Structure 1
């Protein structure tokens, strides 16, 4: 499980950074209604990356995006540590409260700054996944024999291939979002 969490953390950082650095995100955060621009893009990025949530927020932690199932949370304060990310570094943490999109359990989430052309932090993006879903996403069910015993365990090559596939999905989602923005 530890290795799965480590891999999940890396992928969350990639997902959050990809969305935060996508064309138009910094500008949208400064627009009169950031949710209109960012909500559909965050949802597309969430699905493409295979994470439970991608949340964009202002520098005070007010949410501008939230997974479609829970859109009533838009406008509410993000439940996490945002102070360090406001200073520039990426924060990866395990949050003990129920994460917004997943509904139950503990979440692992990355929080990254969104900067403008002058490197000013204009907002934050968090990508996260519940601990229970880390294993479900990373450990596809093994093939079974007729006696229901696994045929083989997941190899490191398979896990590596899953990581590459996840990065490719995130890249395609980011490219689609950039194309849609143009």
Structure 2
């Protein structure tokens, strides 16, 4: 069944009048080219050799048939909306996953930078202290920055532990539900 069965022939011509006129013009040019080729003198009649040599190639170009189907705008809009409805949620999910992964990687980078700065501060501290001195080290700009980094690391570690505890609590609750369900099944059966 064709897409255009609901239209009368006159309506189809009215809707696609420009396309039909363009196709007719193209057909006229093609017929003119075929007539010109049919009237080309052969090599025996003194035609240039280049014209005859190009004839098979030109025949292959003319033989190529391409079919283009005209689709109404409402059909295209409906197909586009359908694709958006099918693909949109998947794309949104992928973007959400990517943003979560980027946030996680950002936190990881911050943690590693803080740890590197802390280790660098620890490496510098013995060089600043006298060898046999048991006095408290003096507060300097580097040690202040080091303590800030330690505080950030502790805060990040605290957040990680909170997340781990929440995950473990969810797992325990799930196991309890499973055990209760098994107990009910064994008592019922």
TM-score tier by shorter-chain length is under 0.3
Higher helix share: 2
Find the structure with the greater CA-based Rg. Answer: 2
The normalised TM-score by structure 1 is 0.20
Give the structure with the higher percent strand: 1
Instruction: Give TM-score, length-normalised by structure 2.
Output: 0.19
